[in-house]
Amino acid sequence: MTYAPPIAEQRFVLDTIADLPALARLPGFEAATPDLVEAILNEAGKLASGVFAPLNWPGDQAGAVLADGVVTLPTGFADAYKLYIDGGWASLGSHPAHGGQGLPFVLASAVQEQLTSANMAFSLCMMLSQGAIEALQAHASPELQATYLTKLISGEWTGTMNLTEPQAGSDVGALRTRAEPHADGSYRIDGTKIYITWGEHDVADNIVHLVLARLPDAPPGTKGISLFLCPKVLPDGSRNDVKCIGIEHKLGIHASPTCTMRFGEHGGCVGYLVGDEGAGMRAMFTMMNHARINVGLQGVAIAERAYQGALAYARDRVQSARFGGGRDAVRIIEHADVRRMLMTMKATTEAIRALAYLNAAAVDRAHAGHDAAAAGLADLLTPVTKAYATDMGVELSSLAVQVFGGMGYVEETGAAQHLRDARIAPIYEGTNGIQALDLVGRKLGQDGGAHWRALFADIRQEVRDLPPKGDLGQLAPYLDDALAALENATVWMTGNGGDKLPDTAAGATPYLRMFGITVGGWLLVRQAVAATEQLAAGTGDAAFLRAKIVTARFFAEQILPQATAMLGPVTRGAELFYAIPEDGLAA
Ligand SMILES: Cc1cc2nc3c(=O)[nH]c(=O)nc-3n(C[C@H](O)[C@H](O)[C@H](O)COP(=O)(O)OP(=O)(O)OC[C@H]3O[C@@H](n4cnc5c(N)ncnc54)[C@H](O)[C@@H]3O)c2cc1C
């Protein structure tokens, strides 16, 4: 299946939602001129569609293979990786001090979206490296930065993130990997990590593992965790005592090696402390916050690719029998139910793209503009982007399979691969259940609730500013209702202290869904307003702009009411969840 990068759509969202022109006025981002943005999206789009996408299906079929401690990627991956680094794509968003191009994270995210649509399994290699770069830029000593950052940023080396152990998944504080101080100032790491993405491979000469471990006298829980850098190849060229002892057979992303990593089998795994002792979780969160937005983007990317496939199939497949009789030969795209599926995919994909780009641009504003309000918005939105967008990635790629009918369930069309690939995104990088708890337990309460209040006030104002009539006027009541329900739910959520905490936890996941739908609907309204202005000014592609207005209306009428209806489920509490005793559930 081919992939066509949605460049016009990406440009529109970058301009209207991320406000890239304003970002480009911030110190350090001056290079992000409209011409450069256009060129980057076009050239990255060629790499994605021409090089990465053709490897997606064969990569899924062949998968990564482990033999004698060596992991081999499917044919073509190493050459494609070389094209990626030769083109300078690895360095887009990184700091110029170590060879990065210093462009906004949101622009790098748009490129990452294209690569992920083209080949999600492959794009994980770049995503994990990016996370390692972020952590080292923020927390590593100048010496470690000098040795490792330049080569990570150029893409010559790749990076990994090692948290998970068999007994420590969501509960990272339960990890047991140990770090012993060594006389030369380094540490010796001993432990086994599981599920490590791109933990071993043959596309780069060195792999920089960031590993969470405990010092001998560390307190239990997350406070006792420190972060270490363990390279596969040490600075003197010798191999470090770290190896891949297994790779997983799994539902999707077959070309992404998911490795069991043994650190220190022979007692000689050299690690270097990143940041302070005991501050590992803080450093890891730097990495995870970017990674969570990027994982959200995986939902966007897979939904986009699945939509493109489903649309092409629906325009071609003829099934005549019509509702209400008649035997004319019609393509399935003419059936209302198929249109419903396609419009749901299109509208929701555009909503989650806007959410992810808004989130990434808020990170840029927070960093480059030292903007505290933007930092608060970025923090608030990150669990929503991660969880809502990845849930939609699964639901929309499942809908794509439905559009294909039986041809979607069999493997040869590629629709099934998108669904299989999409399924991991709600699980890793903090499960979506954990994201929901993060939203209600930490993010809503930050700075006394200032960030959700500011966001809801912005939405309320934009609803008020909509003209009373016409297409835009029709959007207002839907968004108004969803926002009112979300506000009520938020007040309920934040008022539940003490013994009501189980009720908050019980409502967290549907609450996050409400939040995602409402913010997504608002961002489509904002795009419809911009489209209306451009149409009035006679600028832009009229067909694209008119579709924006229709898409916002479709989302408002068909999807926003789901948020309104969720107020009940969100605030019902935990009672019925526990009313049947555990043994009764098994009866
Ligand atoms: C393909 C793949 C790639 C991965 N890549 C990496 C990687 O590169 N690096 C890395 O370190 N890890 C990686 N992981 C691990 C991944 O991050 C974990 O699987 C994930 O964090 C969940 O942990 P778990 O599997 O132990 O599930 P568990 O933590 O056992 O969770 C099981 C279920 O219980 C729920 N649950 C658990 N605790 C709570 C709670 N407190 N409250 C409410 N619900 C809860 C979860 O939401 C989930 O639904 C990867 C996993 C896979 C499958």
What is the reported pTM? Answer: 0.97
Side-chain half-sphere exposure of 538, counting CA atoms within 13 A: 0
Q: At residue 198, what are phi and psi to the nearest 5 degrees?
A: 55, 35
Are the C-beta atoms of 212 and 175 separated by less than 8 Å?
yes
Q: What pLDDT shows up at residue 123?
A: 98
Mean pLDDT of 59-75: 96
Are the C-beta atoms of 14 and 37 separated by less than 8 Å?
yes
> Does ligand 1 have an atom closer than 6 angstroms to the CB of 169?
yes
Q: Whose CA is nearest to atom 23 of ligand 1?
A: 169
DSSP state of 49: I
Residue from 127, 170, 211 whose mutation best tests the ligand 1 pocket (most atoms within 8 A of CB):
170
> Does ligand 1 have an atom closer than 6 angstroms to the CB of 155?
no
Note the helical H segments in 405-500: 406-409, 415-422, 432-438, 450-465, 470-494
Interval between CA 127 and ligand 1 midpoint (Å): 18
Q: What pLDDT shows up at residue 284?
A: 85
Chain length of the chain: 587
Interval between CA 344 and ligand 1 midpoint (Å): 29
Q: Whose CA is nearest to atom 2 of ligand 1?
A: 195
**What pLDDT digit, counting tens, does each position of 19-45 carry?**
999 999 999 999 999 999 999 999 999
> Does ligand 1 have an atom closer than 6 angstroms to the CB of 162?
yes
Nearest to 161 by CA among 141, 136, 143, 186: 136
> Does ligand 1 have an atom closer than 6 angstroms to the CB of 258?
yes
Query: Is 165 a known active-site residue?
Result: no
Mean pLDDT of 541-565: 98
* pLDDT at 160 exceeding the cut of 80: yes
- Atom number of ligand 1 nearest to Cα 429: 17
Q: What pLDDT shows up at residue 322?
A: 66
Q: Considering the chain, what percentage of its residues have pLDDT values greater than 70?
A: 99
> Does ligand 1 have an atom closer than 6 angstroms to the CB of 556?
no
Helix (H, G, I), strand (E, B) or coil at 432: helix
Q: What pLDDT shows up at residue 325?
A: 67
* pLDDT at 476 exceeding the cut of 80: yes
Contacts of 249 (CB under 8 A, 6+ apart): none
Q: What pLDDT shows up at residue 286?
A: 79
Q: Classify each residue of 438-462 as buried b or exposed e, where b means 16 or more C-beta atoms within 10 Å of its C-beta.
A: bbbbebbeeeeeebbeebbeebbeb
CA 506, 507, 513, 515 torsion-angle sign: negative
> Does ligand 1 have an atom closer than 6 angstroms to the CB of 433?
yes
Are the C-beta atoms of 102 and 29 separated by less than 8 Å?
yes
- Atom number of ligand 1 nearest to Cα 430: 21
Q: Which of 429, 462, 487, 533 is catalytic?
A: 429
